[in-house]
Structures are given as C-alpha cells and as structure tokens.
Chains A and B, each alone.
Chain A
Amino acid sequence: MGYRLGVDVGGTFTDVLLVDQATGATFRAKTPTTPRDQSEGVLAGIRKACGEAGIPLAEVDQVLHGTTVATNAILEGRGARVGLVTTAGFRQILQIARSYVPGGLAGWIVWPKPEPLAALEHTVEVAGRIAADGREVEPLDVDSARRALRRLAASGIEALTIALVNSYADDSHEKALAALAADEIPGVPVSLSSQVLPEMREYERTITTVANSYVQPEVARYVRNLDAALRDSGIEAPLSILRSDGGLTSADKAAQDPVALLLSGPAGGVTGAVWFAEQAGYRDLLTFDMGGTSTDVALVLDGTPRIGRDTTVGDLNVRASSVDVRTVGAGGGSIAHVPELTKALRVGPQSAGASPGPAAYGHGGTAPTVTDANVVLGYLPDELAGGEITLDRKAARRAVAEVADAMGLESVEAAAAGIVDIVNENMFGALRLVSVQQGYDPRDFALVAFGGAGPLHANALGKLTGAWPVIVPPSPGVLCAYGDATTSPRSEAARTVVRRFSMLDSDDLRALLAELADAAGTRLAADGVPRALQHTVHEIDVRYHGQGFEIPVTLTDAMLKADDLLAAVGEAFDVEHERLFSFLLRNEKEIINLRVAVTGPRPNIAGRALAAGGTDPGGAFVRETEVWADGAYTRAAVYDRDKLQAGNVVPGPAIVTEMDSTTLVLPGHTATVDAGGCLLIRPAAAPAGFDPTDTADARE
C-alpha cells in the first residue's frame, strides 16, 4: 500500500493532501496558487507534503485532482475561439437560445443578453438532413461542407463543434463531417454533439458541445503540463481528474471531454464531506459549502450525492451530469444594501469578493458584508487564516452602521444580526431546493458545513432546517483536497431511445442496458479498474408519454432480474411520481434515456483518530469573549480546535477557531468532538430540573 495525493487548486491557495493508505495518516501542505502555471504551485505543495511525510515523490501511487480550470475559463470568458457547424437553417441556434429571457414580466427591459459561446460569424451551416427516426432525408452535401470548413479554418478557430439536428438518432453525418474537418482544419480539436451528449433537444446538445470545445484547448494544455511536471519530478503515478459527477477520469479522457469537469471543484467538496460524515456515522446528508461569494449546497442519500443532469456556471447552463449542486450568491463577501425606495434589507448577490473584500479586512472595502456583520457580533477572532488577515473591528462597525441608519434600527448589532439572518435565509432557500422541493424532509438528514465561512453559519442553518447533527469536518476550508483523495473512478454510458412502453419489450430493454454497461465497463477497465472490482448502476429516465421532464429510476438487482422488467420500472416510476407530485396519471409511460454508471472501489483510507479525552474541553480553552445572541451580549468561550480531544463537549455559546475557519456554537447547543475530529453540533439536552423553554435562566 502506498500513498494517494489529493490536489485542490483554489483561487488563493493550493491544497495538497497526502494520505498513507495503510495507516490513514494524512500530511497537508498549503502553498500559494500560481495562476500563470498552476502546476508550479501544485508541485511545491506535493514536495512539501512528501517532505513532511518523509517519503520520496516516487512512492506516490495515485494523484487525484479536482480542477477549476474549465470553470474559470467559462466565468472569465477566456475560452477558445469555437467554430460551429450546424444543419442548414439552424445557423442561429445559439443566437436564438430557445428564446428564453430570465426574470419577471418586465425582465426583458433590464436583461443584458450574453454573447453566444460560439460567435455567429464562426458558425456555418451544411446541407444534409437526418429525420427524428434516424433516417437520412437528404445526403450530406460534401462539397459545400468542405467550403464551409475552409472558411472556418481561415477565420482562425481554435476548436470546432459539429452539432446537427437529430444526430442523437443517427450520427453518420456528424462523423462524416469530422473526417472532413480532420482534412480541412487539421490540428483543431473537434467535438461531436452525438458523442458529447447523445440526447434529444438540439439547443441543449449544441450548447453543451460548444462548451466542451470552448474549454478544451485550455484544459488539454493544463492537464498535459501538469502531467509532464509530475513526470519530471519523479512521480510515476497516473494523474486522475475529478469530474462534476464526483467520479474520477483519466487525464486523457478529461482533456477530451472537459465539459464534464465544470463542477469538478464543488464535487470534490461534496465528496470530502461525505467521507468525513461517514467516519462520524452519517450517510444521509445535506452539504453546505460557503465561500466568499457564493454557497453551494447538495443532497447526499445513503452516502451517494444526488446527480443532476444540468450544470450551471455563471450564465451558462449545459446538460452534463454533475453532483446536483445548487449555488446561491450568498457568501462572506456578500454586500448588504437597503434600497431607498422600499427600505428592505437585501444581502447579495453583489459581493465585495477578494478585492476590495469586507470592510474588516482593511483592504479598502467600505461596503457592509456578511463578514463585517459577523465581526460586529463578535463571532470572528481578531486574526484569520493563521494571522494573514487582521480584522479591523471599527471599520466593520462603520460599514454595518450604514445599514442600521438606512433601516432606522436602534443598534448596529441589530443590523448585523439582520444581515446574518437574511444571508442564512438565502442559504436555507437553497437547501430547501435540494431537499423539500425534491420531496425530502431535511430533518431526516445531517448537515455538513464547510468552506471558509460555512462553520460560522452552520449552527443557525441547523436550527432553520432541523437537520441534526450539524457536522463540521476538520480543516473545513480545504475539504476539497480530501474529497479528491477519497473518490473512486467512474465511467458512464448513456443513450436516448424515446419509446413508449408498448413499443418495447423487456428483453430489448435488457439488451440495450447490457450494451451500455459493457461500453462503460470497458472504458473503466482501460482506466485501470478490473471488471471484477467494478460496481454497476443502471438508470432509466421515465415519464408519462407527453410530459416534458423525466424522472430517473434506478434499477435494483431485483428489478433487473424481474421477468417483466418494464412493469418493474413502471412501478418504481409511479412511486417516485407520487412522492414528488402527490398524484399519478393513467397515461402510458415512456422511456427517454438509458444510463449506466460503472464505478471502481472506494479507496481504502483509514480514518483519522484523535486522542481521546473527557467531556471537558478545558484543555483547548483560549479565552473568554463577548458575542451577540438573541438580542444581547453574552459571555462565550473561545477554543482552539487543534487542542480539542475526542469526546470533548463544547457548550454554546462558544467559538472554535482553527487555521482556515471559525465555528460558532449558539446558546442552547453543544458541539461534541468525535474520534475523526469532526464537531457534531446538536441542541443541548435540557438538564434535569430545568424548564427548556426558559432559556434566560438556562444561560445564567
């Protein structure tokens, strides 16, 4: 057994986590991110971590990496110049973009329309047509296609997407065009819509494929550089990249299919959260990752994150499987403001970001942010990030006082508490999206809080959702590297069929599924996971004939073995439809997509073991402080997380500080330290003889 390396590159820091697979011992390194060539920072981190472990780099036998390169290329508009080939008559497919205008009834007045990801002047159309059933209606006009491709070549495109109408039903024209493109525009990477997303709906398929082309050159370059740098340093282990859906893929495949990496970063966080929560004994989870500008939430059922079919990054929405992460513009840097007209308190989505940052950071920010509100309320220590940031309490008060004045509130603390309440409510809204609105009761879940700002708001969100315990993993600011190090490889094959139940029989269905399972399994085997170690999950998207949305039905072993497979699928669909919408229809059902996901085994990593202590956390006590809670200042103890021992119980109100984050335990709650180092926050059990409703007494 050797060592696994998890690598996460953030905006500011690169985190490297080295895991000794035999003992579970971890060695962490944090180095500044090197934006020009991220591999420099990564290697510096790896050397540091290996140095701490006292091992040569060659002993690393796996490098696992979640990356935001693809995401940032989209967010910063730095992608490739993409050429697009469409079917004749559909050249403006991205210009029309399904005609959708966001916002309310007058939303069109204020909506700035984003430019298409492939410019219209780089879009050409070719004659030739496939029908919905895959028949060729009109042959591909090869001569005009060549001319069109030559025009694109002359315009200096850096990547090419071929996306034709009905290619999900038959890909022969797309393939023929790819062959022509290899001839006419050699060296330019080509993405085919029938390969990236073989599903119905031409706009979604086209934009997803264009997004793939858009990030492809940059991702390929990055992966190649990193791989080469690893080799040069003496690491022989293969580089694996974390995909948006939480699976791992080889560096080569990642470079081919980078649209599957758009949520690689958040997926790493969720995977890490799952790993720690499982160590603590919890498998049904709501995860909540609060950073400086936004919060990502997700739902995990029985240790498996829910996978969604859509991925959203900024303005861009593509059809690509990803951990079903919902993002709200609520973070530590979110700015509070009070529109003069309505006197309402709004928090976000505008953010002070890293620059100028919250007023308390003293980097020139003056707008009141969530972090400033937390400073005013006494929830943050004087120094953050191990002393890198010293908080300016006066500046925070000054900023929040503006909000108090605008709202006519009696105190700055009341305004600060309001800001915190509102931002908590915004995050609560996102947690409801993944729970209540999907038919899950949050009280059946534990809430895992991470990200730099998550642990500060975790207890409050536990109160709002009723999801207990609230779990704060150790080093919550760098959970992604942990996630990277603890994921398993995954491969997926999918196909759109669109058949009513009466037009299919169970044997056909079984044969189709077997074909997909074979394709996905073969791919994973090629990535180094032998068949015997593979775990296969079959999924079918079903709806009533004529509905616009499908419900994914996961096939159990019993269903797969059932004589009447179709009937079993139908029953499972009914159960899910009833659960989601509380009614059933008599209409015939139809199958839309088949999907098979094959995963390799979870890496065997031993959990961390903290030194055991008694319930008294006194050994970690730092000092007393004052915090604002329930409308008044109250005494609270500050603890050093590094000194807490397993079994310690921290009574609220309390603040637990560590290098990359701060946890707030509210009055009436306790945080228990578990063996793996997680803090488990729960409502305090009422001591005998006390009236639990009389909280004023309980505090004294």
Chain B
Amino acid sequence: MATIIQSNTAPVAAVPVDPVTLDIIENALRNARHEMDEVLFRTALSPGIREQHDEFPLIADPEGRMVVGQFGLSVPDFLDGFGGTIGEGDVLLTSDPYACGAAISHANDWLVVLPIFHQGRLVGWASMFGHMADVGGKTPSSMPSDARTIYEEGVVIPPFKLYDAGDLNEDALAVILNQVRMPDWNRADLNGLVAACRTASRRISELCERFGVEVYLSALDALLERNYQAMKALLATLFEDGETLEFTDWICDDGCGYGPYELTIALTRHGEKIHLDFGKAAPQAVGPVNYYINENLVRMFFGIYVITVADPQILWNDGFYPLIDVTIPEDSFWKPRRPAALNARNHGIGRVFDLFGGLLGQKNPAILNAAGFSSSPHFMYSGYRTAGEQAGEWFQLYSIGFGGIPGRPIGDGPDGHSLWPSFVNIPCEYLEAYYPLRIERWDTVADSGGAGLRRGGNAVDVAYRFAEPGTIAIHDDRWLTYPWGVNGGRPGARGRKWLEHPDGTVRILPSKCHDIPVAPGDVLHFVTWGGGGWGDPYQRPTDLVGLEVRRGLVTVEGARDGYGVVCDPDGAVDADRTRELRARLTEERGEPPLFDMGPPLATILDRCLAETGLPAPAPPVDVRTVTA
C-alpha cells in the first residue's frame, strides 16, 4: 500500500456546493480529459496510439475514485500494489497487470499514474495508459499467439517511480527501452502519456485555485453521489428484486488449440444492490486469451450500458460502485494465476460487451442490441527492407481492424466501423508510404451483416499485398461462434483470414497466429466479422433491401435468403414473389427467438473443418495438467 507524502495535511472541510458550480466543475473535468487525449494523439509516434487512439485517460479524486474517464482503470488497486511513498513531482509507471490488480490487463499497456497536488495537498490523480506497439519478447509487437506465460510477452515493468520528485530515472528507462524493438516509439508515446497527465494535473490545480480546494473536493463528492443516486434509481426500474438473469457467450479458441471457452455472467438484484457473478467461468486458458479483469472495470462496463440511454451527457464516474457487488473466481479465465499469458485479452474485452449486452437487454428492449463487440482484431507485419533507399531498415506495423456494428434499436449497424471510442483506421496511403505493402481492397463484405429489420453492419475485407519478405501476426476471434442476432435478427458472418501466394495457392490462417512468413507478392485477406441483425428481417422495407442490393451491401441471394425479398441485380423488387416468399418463410420460421446464436455449438464444432478450413479446437483443460 502506497504512502502519500503531503506537506499540508490539514483536513479539508466538506462544504455545500451549489448545483451550478457543480455543473461547471463537471464540464471543466470533461474538458480536461479531452485535452489529455489531444496532447497524446499529437505527440505519439506509434501508429496504434497516434492514428488509432488506443489509449485511455482518467482523472480521479484523492482516494483514486475515477471522476472522469472513458474506460476506467483502477487507481486504488494500483496504489495497493505499490509499496513505496508517493509525493509531489512523482510519476509512476507500470505494465504489470499482476502487480496492480489488473488496472491494466496486458503488458503492452503502459500505465502512468501521477498524483495531483495543490498547495502541498493531494487533490487527485491523473492517469493514462496506452498500448505500446512493441514491448519486446519473442515476436514483433509482443503478442505471441501461443504464449503460455507472461515471460514470453516482453518486458513487464513493476510499478516504480519514473520521475522521483520531478527527476527522471534515466537508468531504469534505459533498461526498459533496451528490451524493445522500437525504443523511439516507446519513448515518444511515454512522453506523451506523461505530458497528458501533467496537463490534467495543471487543469485540476487551476480548478482548485478558482473555486477553492474545499469546493473542488466537495464537488467531486457530489458528482460521485450524483452517479450513485442516478444508478440506484435506474437499477430499481430495470431489474426485478430477487430475479436472476444469466447470459452465456464464448471465446472461440486460445491460440494453443483449446476452446471454445464458455463464459457466463449472472445478475441478481438484492434490494438496492446488484450482484454480478462470474462464477460459472471457463477455467484459466492455456494460451494468452485470459482476460484478467478488475472488479471496478466490471462495474464500469455494466454501468455504461444502463446509463448511456438515461443521460448521455452525464460525467461518467465511480460513484455508483458501492451498488454493485462482483464475484470473480480465482484461477479462472477472468482471474488467471501468475504467470499466465495475457497478451490476447482483447477478445475477452470485446466479449464482455456482448455478454453485458445480452444480459441486460433480455428485460430491457431499449438497450438490447445484437452482438458484434467481438474482438479488437490486430494485424502485424514486420521485417527488414531489402530494397531502395531504406534497405536494411527494420519496419514494424501494428494495427487494429474493425467489423460490423450490431443492429440496434435506433437503426442499422454501420458497416466496417469501430465499437471502440474514438478509434479510427490507419489510412491506406499512410500505410503505403511508410510500409512495404500495397492495399488492393478495403471494402465491406456483402451479406456479412446479420439480416434483420435493422441490418447488422458488414464485415471488412482488407487485402494487403506485401512487397518485402517478413512475418505477419494476426489476432482475432468469432471465427467459430457467431455474432448473434436478436428479436428475430440473424447472426452476422464469422471472420476469416487467408494468404494467396503468387502461384495461386491459398493458405487458410487461424484467427490467432504469429511469425507467419510472407514473401513479396503474397496477399493477405483480413476479413473480420459482421454484426448480428436486430428484429424480424421479413419486416424490413423491401425498397430498402432493393437499394442495398444496388449499393452492393447485400447480394441478390442475400436479399432472397435473408430478407425474403426477390429482386434483380439493380435492386428492382418483384413485389408479388416477395410477398409470397415472405409469407412462406415467416410461417416456416414460426415465432422468432430472442437470441439467434446460429446452430448449436456441437454442430458448429462438427462442421468446423468443412466450413472454416481449420480444425476444431479441443475442449479447454485444467491448465495445471498441460505440459508445454
């Protein structure tokens, strides 16, 4: 447990804060958090942060409770895991999930935590983590898909003072940067994280100056209380007292040949509190897909769904956390034992959102979306240039892909979009200017979005043609189980990856792989998943289906099979045959299910090789019985 050194320890009186001042401070905190993003985006070097915005800021109160942030990370758990003292001018850094209670969840994320002092007194914390494109280890980008221990995943930084009272610990930083492949990137990105946190610190200090420390801190309490009260009211309207809801989804495989991992969350309301039970979790995975999840993050993910609909302008914070009890079993997929590998936890993060969506939406149609928060698909390519002015130079790419957004109560799921806040793709021209590759196709895949009254978004197909020999790595999921549809909507298509060699031969790649050699002329097709459909597809307006055929988003066959619409390639609808077909299909189907997950799991596994070209994974095992 960290000890905080303050030169001013006089207690701060709680004072009443008028509602307008409260709203002004809320607004100022929101601005400060956006300013953190801005500083980092503009200074970072690695494409993952700079172009794609894989980073998460936070400002907390003196106890470490988040008062503003976009994703949450647990400062209290971080402080629990830090043994030393913390004083003014200190900046702390860690990348070890096991040493900070999973405030971060894999070693690629570097977490910076900085105490905010005003007149010698601790008034809060600024914190931010960003995904480093490389942290060393056995494969470029540091995400070996077959890792069984965290030791294979590169440098793991225990919590320490990167700056001690303002002085940079150059030696420690040199040791760390000596482990990684692209030290310039890490140095710039780390500088950006620190600069962003310092910016937040300045803004908070200015607020204390402007309103007084008493008012500022009392306002934070009031903002936390506001979330608490809002959530209390919401929970009572959303869930029946004593009723247990449950929802199950899967992670397809773990990169080591085991899967699918069955993940279940149960929810029960007891009076004013909610209990979230992860007890029926799959065992700890053999491979790196374990998602070591922090209890506070679970609370956060839960809350974001219920409150977004109620007051979208609310400043999201930790205030309601006492209302949510969370149980996560040890030695499980969600709480693996050190030194379990963690690098590919991005699929678990994605799946948590599908799980919560299904769990909470069962009783609340206004927030029931289809599935599609399926993963954060990664593509990596690296090697040495052999030709041109830059011959001999090392190149390394880490990028995030996107897929189909689920069909939603308010409308279709956008095609090929991101579910992660503020993420964007890396421009083709940027990739071609900086990397030896050419992009031959960057399109969405017709019919890959699940059919529905509101269609699921289409998957993306990016075709990379490589110009230099090197290796590639892939991280994705939902190649086996389906992004499910809801309220009669159909599942979206699963993801696929394959290499085409210049001689015409094709190699199907698993959804998780690394160190796959590529030669000049090889083409990789990186096809993500589609979003599930929402609502009865036979009710979708026929002219809209026709228009989407003309747009190339749905094929003639897709219109017929998915929507019961008969049309020609120009989208001209045959009204009579459509009426007939829809009547027949509606009758054959009967009452549509609330959730459509595709065929039963046993059938999916049976057909796995035939349908995907990949062998079915073996059932998960107790990791302690597996020898590497």
CA–CA, A587 and B182, complex, Å? 12
Residue from B26, B423, B428 within 8 A of A90 (CB atoms): B428
Does A686 make an interface contact (CB < 8 A)?
no
Of the A-B pairs whose beta carbons lie under 8 Å apart in the complex, a sample of 12, sorted by A's number, is A89-B440, A92-B444, A102-B422, A132-B432, A165-B439, A166-B429, A342-B229, A345-B19, A345-B23, A425-B27, A429-B27, A503-B389
CA–CA, A546 and B184, complex, Å? 10
Count contacts on B: residues with CB < 8 A to the other chain: 88
Contacts of B19 in A (CB 8 A): 343-345, 407, 409, 418
A110 touches B410 (CB 8 A): yes
> Given the known A-B contacts A104-B421, A343-B19, are A89 and B442 also in contact in the complex, defined by CB atoms under 8 Å?
yes
Contacts of A429 in B (CB 8 A): 27-28, 31
B433 touches A101 (CB 8 A): no
B45 touches A99 (CB 8 A): no
B42, B192, B429, B443: which has the most chain A beta carbons within 10 Å? Answer: B429
CA–CA, A92 and B425, complex, Å? 14
Surface stretch bound by A, among B260-268, B545-553, B560-568: B545-553
Surface stretch bound by B, among A199-207, A265-273, A451-459: A199-207
B interface residues with partner A (beta carbon < 8 Å): 19-20, 22-24, 26-28, 31, 35, 38-39, 41-47, 50-51, 70-71, 184-185, 187-188, 191-192, 195, 198, 226, 229-230, 233-234, 304-305, 308-314, 316, 367, 369, 389, 402, 405, 408, 410-412, 414-425, 427-430, 432-434, 438-444, 460, 463, 547, 550-553
Residue from A102, A339, A546, A582 within 8 A of B311 (CB atoms): A339
Contacts of B441 in A (CB 8 A): 88-90
A346 touches B313 (CB 8 A): yes
B551 touches A132 (CB 8 A): no
Q: A422-B24, A581-B42 are in contact. List 19 more A-B contacts (CB 8 A).
A: A89-B442, A93-B442, A95-B444, A95-B553, A96-B415, A96-B460, A99-B402, A105-B70, A131-B432, A342-B229, A344-B313, A418-B23, A429-B28, A546-B46, A546-B185, A547-B50, A547-B188, A548-B50, A581-B192
B421 touches A101 (CB 8 A): yes
Contacts of B443 in A (CB 8 A): 89-92
B430 touches A201 (CB 8 A): yes
Contacts of B429 in A (CB 8 A): 132, 165-166, 168, 200-202
Count contacts on A: residues with CB < 8 A to the other chain: 72
Does A580 make an interface contact (CB < 8 A)?
yes
Does A508 make an interface contact (CB < 8 A)?
no
A98 touches B27 (CB 8 A): no
B308 touches A104 (CB 8 A): yes
Closest 8 CB pairs of A and B: A548-B50, A89-B441, A106-B308, A418-B20, A132-B432, A120-B551, A546-B45, A132-B433
B20 touches A422 (CB 8 A): yes
CA–CA, A200 and B553, complex, Å? 28
CA–CA, A549 and B418, complex, Å? 21
B31 touches A100 (CB 8 A): no
Within 8 A of B (CB), among A511-561: 544, 546-549
B304 touches A105 (CB 8 A): yes
A587 touches B433 (CB 8 A): no
Residue from A97, A103, A346, A581 within 8 A of B195 (CB atoms): A581
Looking across the interface, which residue of chain A has its beta carbon closest to that of B25?
A425
B35 touches A437 (CB 8 A): yes
Does A47 make an interface contact (CB < 8 A)?
no
Within 8 A of B (CB), among A364-396: none
Does A688 make an interface contact (CB < 8 A)?
no
Contacts of A344 in B (CB 8 A): 19, 22-23, 26, 226, 311, 313-314
Contacts of B31 in A (CB 8 A): 429, 432
Residue from B51, B314, B552 within 8 A of A91 (CB atoms): B552
Contacts of A547 in B (CB 8 A): 42-45, 50, 188
CA–CA, A407 and B51, complex, Å? 43
CA–CA, A527 and B440, complex, Å? 43
Does A121 make an interface contact (CB < 8 A)?
yes
B70 touches A104 (CB 8 A): yes
B316 touches A417 (CB 8 A): no
A112 touches B230 (CB 8 A): no
Looking across the interface, which residue of chain A has its beta carbon closest to that of B435?
A132
Does A402 make an interface contact (CB < 8 A)?
no
CA–CA, A200 and B28, complex, Å? 35
Contacts of A632 in B (CB 8 A): none
B39 touches A581 (CB 8 A): yes
B421 touches A107 (CB 8 A): yes
Nearest chain A CB to B518 CB, angstrom units = 19
B440 touches A108 (CB 8 A): no
Within 8 A of B (CB), among A111-146: 111-113, 119-121, 129, 131-132, 137
Contacts of B405 in A (CB 8 A): 101, 108
Does A498 make an interface contact (CB < 8 A)?
yes
B419 touches A101 (CB 8 A): yes
Contacts of A165 in B (CB 8 A): 428-429, 432, 439
Residue-by-residue, is A59-83 near B (CB-CB < 8 Å gives 1, otherwise 0)? 0000000000000000000000000
> Given the known A-B contacts A201-B427, A341-B310, are A89 and B418 also in contact in the complex, defined by CB atoms under 8 Å?
no
B20, B433, B547, B552: which has the most chain A beta carbons within 10 Å? Answer: B20
Within 8 A of B (CB), among A300-347: 339, 341-346
CA–CA, A546 and B438, complex, Å? 19
Residue from B70, B184, B195, B444 within 8 A of A583 (CB atoms): B195
Contacts of A418 in B (CB 8 A): 19-20, 23
Nearest chain B CB to A415 CB, angstrom units = 9
Within 8 A of B (CB), among A579-603: 580-583, 585-587
B43 touches A341 (CB 8 A): no
> Given the known A-B contacts A89-B463, A113-B411, A201-B427, are A345 and B20 also in contact in the complex, defined by CB atoms under 8 Å?
yes
Does A40 make an interface contact (CB < 8 A)?
no
Contacts of A109 in B (CB 8 A): 305, 308-309, 367, 369, 408, 410
A99 touches B432 (CB 8 A): no
Contacts of B226 in A (CB 8 A): 342-344
Looking across the interface, which residue of chain A has its beta carbon closest to that of B550?
A121
Nearest chain A CB to B13 CB, angstrom units = 22
Residue from B42, B51, B414 within 8 A of A580 (CB atoms): B42
A100 touches B417 (CB 8 A): yes
CA–CA, A495 and B463, complex, Å? 29
Looking across the interface, which residue of chain B has its beta carbon closest to that of A137?
B438
A548 touches B41 (CB 8 A): yes
A131 touches B438 (CB 8 A): yes
CA–CA, A129 and B465, complex, Å? 13
Looking across the interface, which residue of chain B has its beta carbon closest to that of A409?
B19
Nearest chain B CB to A418 CB, angstrom units = 4
> Given the known A-B contacts A341-B310, A546-B45, are A421 and B24 also in contact in the complex, defined by CB atoms under 8 Å?
yes
B311 touches A341 (CB 8 A): yes
CA–CA, A40 and B310, complex, Å? 48
B417 touches A101 (CB 8 A): yes
Nearest chain B CB to A181 CB, angstrom units = 22
CA–CA, A95 and B24, complex, Å? 38
Looking across the interface, which residue of chain A has its beta carbon closest to that of B553?
A120
B421 touches A426 (CB 8 A): no
A96 touches B70 (CB 8 A): no
Looking across the interface, which residue of chain B has its beta carbon closest to that of A199?
B429
Residue from B50, B314, B367, B421 within 8 A of A342 (CB atoms): B314
